[in-house]
Structure formats: C-alpha cells, structure tokens
Structure 1
Amino acid sequence: MEKKRIEGLLYPQIYSTFLINGEEFNIQDLTERYYKDALSLLTEYLMPEENFCKSVQIHKNEEAMKGIITSYMKLFEQRMTLACFKKQTGELVAVNVLGITRSGETKDDITDEDMKLLQKSKKFTMQGFDIYDTFKTDHYLNGFGLGVKPNYRGHGISVELLKARIPLMKSLNIRVSGTSFSSIQAQRAAVKAGFTEVASVSYDNVKIAFPKFDFSRAAGTHCKYFILLNE
C-alpha cells in the first residue's frame, strides 16, 4: 500500500527557518494549495536544466512532460515533498520532490521512449548499489528532483532543503533516503547537507551505455548517488 501522511498527524509542519539578506525563509511541507506553483517551478526550471533531462530535451517532448506532471502529482499526494517559502510574501521559491520507493516496484505505465531511457539510465548510475540489501529494508525515501528559482540561487537553499530530510524521516520513521545528483552543484549541496556518496559514474560511460544522450552541456563530469541515514 502506498505510504501517505494524514493531515493533522505532524502534517503540515515547518522544519527549519533561515535568513537570506535579512529576509526569513521557511522549509516546510508542500501542501495542495501550492501544487500548481510547484509544477510550474519544476517544469520551467528543473526540466530544461537537469543533466539527463536536458540531454534529451525532455521539456520539448509533450508526451513525456504529461507523464512527468502526472507522476509529480502522485508524489505530491504522498505529502512528503518539501518546499521553501519566503515568509513575508508566501512566495514558493524552491521544491524538492520526495516519495517512498518500495522494493519490487515497476513503472510499466511508461510508454514514452525518452522517459524509458531516463528510467534505465538512472538505475545505471547506481552502479549496482542495492539500497534495499545494504540497509535491510523494503522501502526508502527517494528524491525525484530539486528546483530553485534562478533569482534565489547561490544562497544555500538547496542545502537547507536537503537537511530537512532528517526531521521528515524521523516523523515518518524512515531510516534511509537515497538520491541521484546529476550536477556538480547538487553534489556539493548534498555533501554540505550530510549525505554520503556511494556510487559514481562518468557521463562518458553513461553515453557509451546510452548513445542517445548528449552531455555536451552537462554541469559536471559525473552523476553520483548519495544516501542519507536517519540515525
């Protein structure tokens, strides 16, 4: 059964507060009121910029984007996605899409070839690392994309979003989180937030395995897989 948080049971909540140039920002649960804003942020900024999505221009593929939006809405409904808001104005400035992934799950409903390629390649980047076997679990908190509006970048918002996974995991009694970070900037943020690198693969090797990708404009040389433990 799909794990879903119940409203009123530690949901929604604020996980951290921090200042940027004297202005206060909150990291908190994404609620239904902001689903549309979150989708706009992710499709406008993350899809054209993330290394794998950019390499096949997924944002220009109408069928793929419809599938991505449907998937994001299902993840939002798990009520585990984190968001960053400017407190004074209530503006949504960043989103980290999160959800539970379970052992044995398949995505047989994917029909678009580019989406199938992205799914296969992300598994390839784990380089055989088995999160279920390593931590003796049948589920973990997975990351499905982190986007920050351009005018709010360079202030550590990604780090704050990633740090907030620990209190979220504690409230859900989840031991481990795992995520592929494709850009050098995201990888640096993960390290600052306390994540541990467990797998790495160069884009040259990904290209050999999946020739359709064009990583000529990739931000960084490697895709890396990180885990975060709730201990």
Structure 2
Amino acid sequence: MENISDQQILQALKKTQEEFRFPDAKLELISEECFPDMFKALKECFLTDEPLEKSLEMSWSSDVEDLWLSALRYRMSLMVVNENNGDIMGMRVIRVTKQSDHFNIDEIKDEKVRKIVDFFEYSSENFNFFAKYSISEMFEFFGLGVMPKYRRHGLGTLLVETGVKFLCNLQKPCYIKGSASSNYSKKIFEKCGFEMLAEFQFEDYKVDGKVVFDSTGEHKSLKVYGKCLK
C-alpha cells in the first residue's frame, strides 16, 4: 500500500466526493496546511470525550501530536468542512499499518501517552489481525471524531461509510482494522458492517496489579473490528 500514488489518492477522493452527501458540507483530504486547525479539532473531540483519554485526564502534548502525525502523514485522512463558515465538522483519520510497525515506547516522554500506546500494543499482541487474514499490511481507521455542535445528525456513521468508500475507490483489495473504546463508535462500526474480532475489558488490563483505565464510565471495553474489501 506504500506504493499508492498521490494521483490515485486524489482520483479516489474525487470519486468519493461525487458520492458524498451531507447538508452544507464538503469532503476534503486532511492536508498539511490544515494540521493546526485539525489539532484544535482533535483536542476537542478526543481529550475530553474518548474513554481512555478521559480516564487518564490527558492533556495535549508533543507526544500526543506525534501520535496523530504518525497517521496523518499518509495523506489519506478525510475531513468534513462546513461550506458556510469553514468549520471542521468531523474527521476520519486513516493510516497504513504494516506487520513490522511498532511504536518506539522509549521515545515517548508523556506517561499517559505511553499508557495508551502500551494498551494498544497489548491488544495487538493478544489478537493478531495480520494472522487472522494472512496479510502483512492493512488500512487502519485510526480515529473518528465529530465536533460537538455537529453531533447527533449521523455524521459519525457517514464518516465511517465514506472512509470505506474512499478505500474502495482506490480499487485495491485491502483489509481495514478499526478499534472502538466507546459504545458509540462500537455501534457505528457494527452498523457499517464491520466484523467484531476481539474484545478487551478495561477492568482486566492491569499494570503492577492496578487497573490502568478505571474511570471509563459506561464504556467497558475495547473492541477490534475488521472489514475486507475485494
């Protein structure tokens, strides 16, 4: 998938834009020039709303930013922009992940980021997505967010559906992995036809005998989902 050209990405985007329908909104790639605005949107969507980040009372740091950049650098992430005022309404972050990829924990100074990365590494070690499908690389739905003022209108579901259509329009057989820590994102993945492959209860994940994520409220687990595009 590393050999996907910019031209192929733009062609897939154009076709996906032709199929995209949401009132007063347009679909765009998340380009480097809009990263500052995207980081502001990610702060609002994830630091206060996502169960793991909320449980740790995480704040924005250079390590948090680097984590998002690790996905955004693939230039395949999508955002919905309000045509009237330029607001970012929501985003579907997409990255390419290879079997050989691993985060370098030693380079992460933010302890809370380390805890989140450790948990996702733990989930990957205990459920091998690559072995499940006998593959060596995949597309990963890295983050889904809808800005608070634009919620409850179906935009989250539409962003997942649009992400799938975008990858379909690349016209390459592929596999998509998604991880959901909130009940809302779980419902969206299942509504969009993803197969639930594994589940990890937050209360079962402990370090030095202590539950790491102990304030997740109604959200009790991480679920791993998969979808095959042929």
TM above 0.5: yes
Aligned residues: 223
Residue 120 (structure 1) aligned to one of 99, 103, 118: 118
Cα separation, 2, equivalents of 1:204 and 1:212? 6
Show the 5 A alignment for 1:68-83.
Answer: 68-83=64-79
Cα separation, 1, equivalents of 2:133 and 2:176? 11
Show the 5 A alignment for 1:179-218.
Answer: 179-207=178-206, 211=210, 213-218=212-217
- Specify the alignment match of 1:39 in structure 2: 39
Distance 1:185 1:87, change over 3 A: same
Give the match's secondary structure for 2:114: helix
CA contact (8 A) 1:160 1:193 kept: no
- Specify the alignment match of 1:9 in structure 2: 8
After the TM superposition, which of the residue ranges 205-214 and 48-57 deviates more from structure 2? 205-214
RMSD over equivalenced CA pairs, Å: 2.5
Cα separation, 2, equivalents of 1:210 and 1:228? 35
Show the 5 A alignment for 1:40-119.
Answer: 40-59=40-59, 65-108=61-104, 109-119=107-117
Structure 1 unaligned segments of length 5 or more: list them. none
CA contact (8 A) 2:52 2:116 kept: yes
Task: Give the letter for the 1:86 counterpart.
Answer: N
CA contact (8 A) 1:122 1:180 kept: no
Cα separation, 2, equivalents of 1:66 and 1:192? 35
Cα separation, 2, equivalents of 1:215 and 1:84? 33
CA contact (8 A) 2:198 2:225 kept: yes
Structure 2 unaligned segments of length 5 or more: list them. none
> How does the TM-score come out when normalised to structure 2?
0.84
CA contact (8 A) 1:26 1:85 kept: yes
What is the CA distance between 1:85 and its match in structure 2?
1.8
Distance 1:186 1:111, change over 3 A: same
- Specify the alignment match of 1:226 in structure 2: 225
Residue 145 (structure 1) aligned to one of 119, 143, 146: 143
Give the match's secondary structure for 2:10: coil
Cα separation, 1, equivalents of 2:209 and 2:142? 21
CA contact (8 A) 2:205 2:211 kept: no
Cα separation, 2, equivalents of 1:209 and 1:87? 50
Cα separation, 1, equivalents of 2:172 and 2:119? 30
